[in-house]
Amino acid sequence: MSSGDTGRGAPSSKRARRVKKLLEDFDRTAGLLRVELVARYGEPDADALVRDARARYGEILPRVRWVEGRAAPVMNSFLWITAQELAVYQAVDARGGAASEAWEICHKAIRLRMERVPRWKRWLMNRLMFSGLVRRVIRRRAMREEIVRAGDFETRSVVGDGIAFDHGVDYLRCGNLELAREVGAEAFAPYLCLSDIALSEGLGWGLIRTQTLADGCGHCDFRFKRGGETRITSQTPEVQATLERIAREEAQLAASAGSSLPPRPDSSSPPSR
């Protein structure tokens, strides 16, 4: 998922291993989505779409500017997910589909992937996000007005009041947006930001966000509230409309058939074995 080298300057053997690993991950995700895609497009078209998206993913990967250093595992995980979603968008766009159609596929993929993250791991990631260590780091960086740079990402920390939110991060520059621009898919960038919905709900991060760089705002305002409801909106009208429609459809499905969403981690006690 990550390494300390950059995508363009790494030795060819390391790049080849990374590409192989990420293509295998793409294949696993496509396998999870197969039933959904066949129901939507029929088997021949679904297979053709997956082949096209996979080929485009392979073309995008060499253009990713991977992050180095301590932030690499987190930031690079964002980048390879974004690269997959951009490939899906390009494949859907090539067959005349809308950006919202591509995003529905990506959103379903993230939901399915989150369902397969072990509950103990989600609980642990929740505990880490709201740990004393993270709070101290956030407070120290905020007091110093420190700008943290990692590859194409630039962030600043925000101390919360413990009521509206516990702590936050402003993204002043985003590697995901830079990658979308790099491959000529900036129009899809506001949809990419919606990936955080399934991640926040699956990990119990209570993310609140009202603006993003991809929407044309000055920064992305990530605010986290332990045990809170995920509240993400977009200032791009068509993206907000898609977000609301998918939320309604998921609510209706949950009401009629029982929720199929991954259980939110219990922040007070570890999951039972």
Side-chain half-sphere CA neighbours of 182 within 13 A: 19
> Which pLDDT value is given to residue 258?
60
Q: Which helix (H) or strand (E) holds 147?
A: strand 147-150
> What percent of the chain stands above pLDDT 90?
83
Q: Is the pTM of this model over 0.85?
A: yes
Confidence bin at 3 (pLDDT 50/70/90): very low
pLDDT tens across 126-174, in order?
Answer: 999 999 999 999 999 999 999 999 999 999 999 999 999 999 999 999 9
Question: What pairs with residue 153 in β-bridges?
Answer: 150
Measured distance CA(213)–CA(190) in Å, rounded: 8
Q: What is the pLDDT of residue 14?
A: 80
Is residue 106 within 8 A of residue 81, CB to CB? The reply is: no
Whether the Cβ atoms of residue 226 and residue 179 lie closer than 8 Å to each other: no
- pLDDT tens profile 12-70: 778 788 899 999 999 999 999 999 999 999 999 999 999 999 999 999 999 999 999 98
Which range among 32-36, 88-92, 113-117, 261-265 shows the weakest confidence by mean pLDDT?
261-265
pLDDT digits (tens, 9 = 90+) for 207-254: 999 999 999 999 999 999 999 999 999 999 999 999 999 999 999 998
**98 in the Ramachandran plot: left (φ > 0), alpha (ψ -120 to 50) or beta?**
beta
- Whole-number Cα distances in Å, 136 to 129, 130, 144, 225: 12, 10, 12, 16
Pairing assessment for the beta strands 207-209 and 153-159 based on DSSP bridges: unpaired
Q: Please report which helix (H) or strand (E) contains residue 165, including its range.
A: none
Radius of gyration of the chain (CA): 19
| Rounded Cα–Cα distance for residues 101 and 104 (Å) | 5
